[in-house]
Structure 1
């Protein structure tokens, strides 16, 4: 089956542990305390990485398209998040796998500094992941937990 836009990619599905309880605590306290700052830090990191990586540990790749040199990140990582779930996909190549490992390391290290941890799984297969749209026929096949 060859559907336009579906690509073989590595995919990480990550759950932010204790996120729901933090949100309930923030809502009940109704002040901008330490927990609010922790959640804000996590969301800011995810937002910045989903728009454009800070590049500190990422390798740029250059390609020519229509006579224009474009810079993109190694492995073409794409990030979506909603509530306490984060989905990161990268090209289905060795460079893509390195990029996925890099993103997971950066994310887990950054939020661990705020006392927040993650768990999840990594798999490989066909997925449609373009901008905010994410679709897969195999998402339940997460192979590593």
Structure 2
């Protein structure tokens, strides 16, 4: 007899690549876009391997180290399905939901940063609910529908937003420092009321990580800076696209990225170059004032 199917309560992320159709259209005449699409889709497909959802990006967090890293391991509880321009990730809830959400968010933030360096934006919804998610890619359930609708109706900008249902199960408000979890460094409440994180927050969170050198920071920041400026300058007649890049520009300029501590001057150097505004009376391209 086959095993009887039943829903599992899981943390669920639905993520969608923005502008996918436009990139496909351009790839008809630009072979570099074919290479880009292939590399991005292969990259996402590679995340279907459970071992990739490891502790690499959470083990550097003091909050995780104090609580015990073994409790943050989701590699044996995670299923991932990548299809077309979307990816679904779900984690079976077995340990503390705060610990499991921390590892999931740390990894999703890393994925977002890598995609943005390639010039790819994404948005998504993160919730908790009932779902069937198998290793062969079969996935369905009310939880998936809720994550999809959250991405479609609430995310709006290149970010992943959390459902109120999930937030209520997380450790908010924080009454003591000992109750803080790694995900607290990633999440913020945006001006429109949504709680979540954008694709660039990874760089701010791991700013003090020893394997993230000054040269690494400068290169990564330059890549995402170019992504935003190119997006701003190529979105004429596309106000909805322009608004997304304009929103990203604000988030980028708000990032706090510092160099290594200067022992002589006892200071940190802010190595992030801000994206300047255009002066309408002189030009209309951000690249011209960069």
TM-score normalised to structure 1 length: 0.74
More strand by share: 1
The alpha-carbon distance between structure 1 residues 115 and 135, as it changes in their structure 2 partners (threshold 3 A), is same
Residue 89 of structure 2 is matched in structure 1 by 88
More helix by share: 2
The whole-number CA distance in structure 1 between the counterparts of 2:23 and 2:112 is 17
Residue 18 of structure 1 is matched in structure 2 by 19
- Tell me if structure 2 keeps the 8 A contact 1:58–1:74: no
**Farther off after superposition, 7-16 or 93-102:** 93-102
TM-score normalised to structure 2 length: 0.40
The alpha-carbon distance between structure 1 residues 55 and 139, as it changes in their structure 2 partners (threshold 3 A), is closer
2:39 corresponds, among 38, 41, 54, to 41
Partner deviation per Cα, 1:66-124 (whole Å, 9 max, x = no partner): xxxxxxx9222221121111111113333321222023112101100101111111110
The alpha-carbon distance between structure 1 residues 137 and 55, as it changes in their structure 2 partners (threshold 3 A), is closer
Residue 142 of structure 2 is matched in structure 1 by 137
- Tell me if structure 1 keeps the 8 A contact 2:58–2:102: no
Residue 64 of structure 1 is matched in structure 2 by none
**Farther off after superposition, 76-85 or 124-133:** 76-85
Partner deviation per Cα, 1:15-65 (whole Å, 9 max, x = no partner): 100111111211x21x532x22322221121121112418582679xxxxx
Equivalent residue pairs, number: 128
The whole-number CA distance in structure 2 between the counterparts of 1:48 and 1:139 is 21
**Farther off after superposition, 115-124 or 51-60:** 51-60
CA-based RMSD of the aligned residues comes to 2.6
The whole-number CA distance in structure 2 between the counterparts of 1:102 and 1:59 is 6
The whole-number CA distance in structure 2 between the counterparts of 1:121 and 1:54 is 18
Q: Secondary structure at the match of 1:50?
A: coil
- Tell me if structure 2 keeps the 8 A contact 1:77–1:96: no
- Tell me if structure 2 keeps the 8 A contact 1:77–1:90: yes
